[in-house]
Chain A
Amino acid sequence: MTQIEIELQQLKDEVRKMWELVSSQMVKSRQALLGFDKDLAREIVSKEKRVNGSELKIDTDCENLFALHSPVAIDLRFVLAVLKINSNLERIGDIAEGIAKHIIYAEHNFKPELLNETKLLEMYQVSIDMLNDSLISFETEDTFLARTIFTKDDILDDINAKANDNLKRYLKTYPDDIDHALYALSIIRKLERVGDQAKNISEEIIFYLEAKVLKHSRKKKIE
């Protein structure tokens, strides 16, 4: 292996570690929500510093690769993609932290009726799946899998679009649960953004592997 290949592999390993950390933050935030586990929520907030540390480390590694190795062609696209994926992952980390803070501030647990009516758990599952699929497609260089993520994002968009109506219905039955309904609405918006970030990540994977720019393109999905 040449020195640049070694350093690119090390960068890929760093990104994978950050991806796993962010994914674990998301999974834990769902657990904390379901079990109303404030200790777990605090752990998420505390681990957010590690996500930020990873982001800075990857930024520096990319900067060094540009300065010292002048990557070109697929290597250049890889480092450019990693820079953007890094930023997307860090934002997902922020979202997990934001959800954890809602759990910390909430006075009591989230009613199962609220979670069902808003399809919040379904959203969680889809967004975590999107994050995990994007990691697999990055590691295995599978652009077909990366493209499936665009379709999954439609599920999140659909639930998000219906969130107001779903919450109105819920509040008619539970008019005193306004605080938790607002937390739920905020979490739905956040999960929808996780979907957007995962979609951006998939675009970067396809850019790196196929040199195709899908950003702002409508022809992303598998026909």
Chain B
Amino acid sequence: MESSIIRSENFNAFFGKNHVVKNVNIQIPKNNVVAVMGPSGCGKTTFLRCINRMHELIPGATSEGKMLLNNEDVYEMHPIFTRLKIGMVFQRPNPFPNLSIFENVIAGYSLNGIKLPKKEKERIVEESLTKSALWKEVKDSLHKKGTFLSGGQQQRLCIARAIAMQPEVLLLDEPTSALDPISTSSIEELLFDLKKNFTLIIVTHNMQQAARVSDKTAFFYLGELVEYDETKIMFTNPKDDRTQNYITGRFS
């Protein structure tokens, strides 16, 4: 049996009185890509942001239940430690505009006041950019600003920045929705490589992307986790009518 790295138990999230994630129980296996899909407003991004405690940064946002990373409740850890272990990549590439590519990759260390020897920084930068499939393209321009890169390259730089902190889990919130098909394809290929070292949870509106890249898929609707299964099963023989109606485009 696969060991789960993330497990939620009776997890609920709220914006004020608005109950947006309802009693979600899910287990995310290690070194898997798990896609989270569902219509707008179904709570999928909120759930993702609860995993590394980004949700609580919003005024009035609260949560209940357990969110476990390797059987330890992330809500009992220091939030900064949680976010070191559970990195995040957002919809739009957001490299720090005033930092170079090199500085962007190690920003997680410098912003947290962690000082590293020069050689160690260089090793982390090369390793992270290699794992994010960007090293060959930028190795001769590491000290140029990250914003000079294309959209797809900027997103891979953001992935490099996230994995430089050596997280165990990487959360990706619609990471290709602002990218063209070629850049999307390069990010999707990258996910296959990244899952050797990390567990990836990706929120996507693109069902074909979910089908292409993920091992397991979760379908959220009105804040509930309706169905969660192997992606092959979800896209060939979903058990719940709501899942079938959603993925076949017959959702009303």
User: Given the complex of chains A and B, what is the CA–CA distance between A5 and B244 in angstroms?
Assistant: 14
CB neighbours (8 Å) of A217 from chain B are none
- Considering only residues 177-217 of chain A, those with a C-beta below 8 Å from chain B are 211
- Asked whether, in the complex, the Cβ of A74 is within 8 Å of the Cβ of B208, the reply is no
User: Given the complex of chains A and B, what is the CA–CA distance between A74 and B249 in angstroms?
Assistant: 12
- Asked whether, in the complex, the Cβ of B236 is within 8 Å of the Cβ of A211, the reply is yes
Question: Whose C-beta in chain A lies nearest to the C-beta of B238?
Answer: A73
B18 close to chain A: CB less than 8 A: no
B235 close to chain A: CB less than 8 A: yes
- Considering only residues 2-52 of chain A, those with a C-beta below 8 Å from chain B are 2, 4-5
User: Given the complex of chains A and B, what is the CA–CA distance between A74 and B237 in angstroms?
Assistant: 7
CB neighbours (8 Å) of A70 from chain B are 208
- Asked whether, in the complex, the Cβ of A73 is within 8 Å of the Cβ of B248, the reply is yes
CB neighbours (8 Å) of A71 from chain B are 248
Interface string of B220-252 (1 = CB under 8 A from A): 000000000000000111100001100111100
Interface string of A70-105 (1 = CB under 8 A from B): 111111110000000000000000000000000000
- Given contacts A211-B236, A211-B237, A75 and B208 within 8 Å (CB-CB): no
User: Given the complex of chains A and B, what is the CA–CA distance between A75 and B246 in angstroms?
Assistant: 12
CB neighbours (8 Å) of B250 from chain A are 2, 5
User: Given the complex of chains A and B, what is the CA–CA distance between A4 and B251 in angstroms?
Assistant: 13
CB neighbours (8 Å) of A77 from chain B are 236-237
B142 close to chain A: CB less than 8 A: no
Give chain A's interface residue range (CB within 8 Å of chain B): 10 to 19
CB distance from B233 to the nearest CB of A (A): 9
CB distance from A211 to the nearest CB of B (A): 4
CB neighbours (8 Å) of B236 from chain A are 72-73, 76-77, 211
- Asked whether, in the complex, the Cβ of B235 is within 8 Å of the Cβ of A76, the reply is yes
- Asked whether, in the complex, the Cβ of B208 is within 8 Å of the Cβ of A73, the reply is no
Question: Whose C-beta in chain B lies nearest to the C-beta of A4?
Answer: B249
CB neighbours (8 Å) of A76 from chain B are 235-236
CB neighbours (8 Å) of A4 from chain B are 248-249
User: Given the complex of chains A and B, what is the CA–CA distance between A74 and B239 in angstroms?
Assistant: 11
- Asked whether, in the complex, the Cβ of B235 is within 8 Å of the Cβ of A2, the reply is no
User: Given the complex of chains A and B, what is the CA–CA distance between A4 and B243 in angstroms?
Assistant: 17
B54 close to chain A: CB less than 8 A: no
B5 close to chain A: CB less than 8 A: no
Spell out B's residues near A (CB within 8 Å). Answer: 207-208, 211, 235-238, 243-244, 247-250
Q: A4-B249, A71-B248, A76-B235 are in contact. List 17 more A-B contacts (CB 8 A).
A: A2-B249, A4-B248, A5-B250, A70-B208, A72-B207, A72-B235, A72-B236, A72-B247, A72-B248, A73-B235, A73-B236, A73-B244, A75-B248, A76-B236, A77-B237, A211-B236, A211-B237
For this complex, 30 residue pairs linking A to B, each with C-beta atoms less than 8 Å apart, are: A2-B249, A2-B250, A4-B248, A4-B249, A5-B250, A70-B208, A71-B248, A72-B207, A72-B211, A72-B235, A72-B236, A72-B247, A72-B248, A73-B235, A73-B236, A73-B237, A73-B238, A73-B243, A73-B244, A73-B247, A73-B248, A74-B244, A74-B248, A75-B248, A76-B235, A76-B236, A77-B236, A77-B237, A211-B236, A211-B237
Spell out A's residues near B (CB within 8 Å). Answer: 2, 4-5, 70-77, 211
List of 5 A-B pairs having minimum Cβ-Cβ separation, nearest first: A211-B237, A72-B235, A72-B247, A73-B244, A75-B248
